[in-house]
Structures are given as C-alpha cells and as structure tokens.
Amino acid sequence: MLSLLSRGRLTPGRPCVPYGRRWLCLAANGTNTLSLSHARNLDDLVSRHAIAPEKDIESFWFNFRKHFRRLPEDHRRFIREHRERADAFRPACEDTVATLPHLSSRCIATLVYVFAESALHSPPWDSAWDELPAAIKGRLDEFNHLELANSAWAFAAIDRYDPDLFDAFALDAIRRFESRDELFKPSHLMQLAMGFAVAGHSSAEMFASIARAVVDQSADFKAKQLANVAWAFAAAGHEAPELFDVVEAEMSTETRLKYLKPHHVANLAWALVKSRTPSPELLDALSKCISPLEISDFDDEGIVKLSWAFGSAGHPVPGQLGSLDASRIEDTLRDSDSANGRRDTAIRLKYTFIGNRN
C-alpha cells in the first residue's frame, strides 16, 4: 500500500524526521503530524485535525485509514450510511478539496485508493470525488505504474466513472507500454485490466498492450492474477486468443488451481467459456478443483457463473453444484442481470477488491 506520507507536501522550515518506515512531516511547531499519529480513534483524529494550526491532509487520511480498517464491518457501514456520523468528516473533506492543487501526485493517488478501498463515496466524500478527476488528468505523467493502475481500479470500484479520465488513463498507459522504460508488474496489469472492465470503458489498444505484456510475463503471474485478468478481458469483451491460450495452459494443472479461492474459480470458468471453447483437460481440472467444495463456499454469483460455464461447455456440473434446482439458478441469473445493466453477469464492487485483499 502506498504511503500517504512518502512524498508529503513540504512547507519551508518544516523538518522531516523518520518514524518507522514512514516519514512524518512535522508542522512548524513540530507537533501537528505527530499529534494526528497519536490519535486514539477516529473521533480523536477529527478533534486533533480541527484544532491543528496547519492542516496536514496526508497525515489525516493515512491515520483515518488505519483506524477505519480496525473497526468491525457494521461500524464501518454505519459511518458510510448515516449522514450525521459521516458529517464529522466533512471539515476534513473540505480541507482536502481546498488543498488538492498543492498535494503531491503520490498523495492524490493514495487518497483515491484509500477512499475506494474504504467504499467512501457518499457525502461528504463525494465532494472530493467530484474534484479528483481534474486534479489527476494533468498530472498522470507524475504517477508511477502502481498509482496509475490503482487509480483506474479505484474510480471503477467506487462507480465514479468519468469517460474523459479513463481516456486519459488509457492514453497514459499506452504511452508507457510503448516506451518500455519500466515494465508493468503483474499486479499492475491485473488492476488496470480490472478497472477498465468494471468501468465498462473500451480501449482496444490498451487491452491489446496488456494482453501482450501478460503473455510475455505469464510465468511471473500468480494463479489468482491470471484468473482476474481472464475475467477482465471476458467482461470487457476484448478478444485476446494468445492471452487465453496462456491462461488455459497455465491453469490446466491442479498445481495452479489449488491456489484459487472459490470466487476465483468461478471467474476463471466463466471467463474461459465466455471467450472460447475450453479444452476437456481444463474442464476436468476445474471439476476436480470444485468437487470437494460445499455449495456454501460460493455466493449466488459464483453459482450462476459455474452452472452457466459448465452447462454452456456441455460438461457435467461438478460436485454439489450439479444437484442444484435449475429454477434457483435461473432466478439468481435473472436477478443478477436486472441488477446490473452494464454487463450480463459482471461482478461489481465486491469482486473488484479481490486483487487487493485476497
């Protein structure tokens, strides 16, 4: 995870001191950032930010993420969904908007990622989301590969689709592929492909560049990364025969498949069948992987994908999935289609996080 403070905004006369693996940029009185880092909880953090003589946005959101991740999910949901509780963070959001032109590119990229990872998109965070595209477009050349990929993923995951911004992401990514000054890592390629697939933004040239890079670096990809890339290309409807050849070859062994979690397996099966006719060997390998699993290991989306994939391929549905009532699958598929008008059974927010959390 990117450090919010590693390229923090510096004020003349403000000394920087090492603190663990981060750099804490202290205010003129030497206490502001350190004070925020000592906050006991989110309420304490908000109070310290309110009385700070100089607002350190980098430090505030770094510490916000630290405390937010420690909360139980129902507490995090309460902060997101209850206006009165969320309004406690309105001053910090307003300060963020006011200082965006002065923040480092690293800080902006990390703010985007933190907001998306925490699923913060409603008021008051929406004011920051409204201003972030303009802050990013003119500074993409300052972003490194990870920041570019994470930003594309973040705007898609939080459903803040901006066509002009994604055009800028695509052009910048293509420029980087052509220059080959520094290769995209497997995780960067996965995030970039997933971000564009979830957003539903078409860029044939960029997807073609990603496909070539995946083929060249396939040996460096983890099994889940290949599964996610396959899902992204299938969801985007981008044909990439050589990429799927590589994915199928890599995934036809139990050695690779054993590292996949149930939702990865469902994504992989759906992607391969949607994009091509998988080999019997791969379907058999997937069947062996699925057979020991319980129905409860899959959510409705995964059940639909697997049932559709094996049924479309003319292969027996493996394990307990084969005993499911067809009407349940049809009902789930209908609900999934109606809930998502962008693509047939494309995975929304919950699956856009699999590249980071699993």
Q: What is the pLDDT of residues 206-252, one digit of tens each?
A: 999 999 999 999 999 999 999 999 999 999 999 999 999 999 999 88
Please report, for the chain, the start and end positions of each structural domain, with discontinuous segments joined by +. Answer: 1-143, 161-358
pLDDT > 60? residue 309: yes
Using the Cα atoms of residue 27, residue 30, residue 33 and residue 35 in order, give the sign of their dihedral.
Answer: negative
Report pTM.
0.80
pLDDT, position 333: 54
pLDDT, position 1: 34
* 346 and 235 Cβ atoms separated by less than 8 Å: yes
pLDDT, position 281: 87
The band of 95, judged by pLDDT with boundaries at 50, 70 and 90, is very high
C-alpha span between 44 and 170 (Å, rounded): 41
* DSSP structural state of residue 100: G
pLDDT > 80? residue 15: no
The band of 350, judged by pLDDT with boundaries at 50, 70 and 90, is very low
Instruction: Please enumerate in sequence order all residues whose Cβ is within 8 A of that of 19, keeping only pairs 6 or more positions apart, or say none.
Output: 34, 37
Return the percentage of the chain with pLDDT > 70, whole number: 80
pLDDT > 50? residue 39: yes
Q: Which of the residue ranges 3-7, 160-164, 282-286, 306-310 would you say has the lowest mean pLDDT? A: 3-7
Q: How many residues does the chain have?
A: 358
The band of 307, judged by pLDDT with boundaries at 50, 70 and 90, is confident
- What's the 3-state SS for 176-197? HHHHCCCCCCHHHHHHHHHHHH
C-alpha span between 28 and 12 (Å, rounded): 9
Q: What is the pLDDT of residues 173-191, one digit of tens each?
A: 999 999 987 899 999 999 9
Return the SS3 of 18.
strand
Angle at 58 between CA 53 and CA 59, to 5 degrees: 65
Return the percentage of the chain with pLDDT > 90, whole number: 58
Using the Cα atoms of residue 186, residue 189, residue 193 and residue 198 in order, give the sign of their dihedral.
Answer: positive
Tokens of 107: 């800080």
pLDDT > 60? residue 141: yes
pLDDT, position 334: 59
Mean pLDDT, all residues of the chain? 82
The band of 13, judged by pLDDT with boundaries at 50, 70 and 90, is very low
End-to-end CA distance of the chain: 14
pLDDT, position 109: 92
Q: What is the pLDDT of residues 250-303, one digit of tens each?
A: 988 778 888 899 999 999 999 999 998 888 888 888 988 888 888 888 888 888
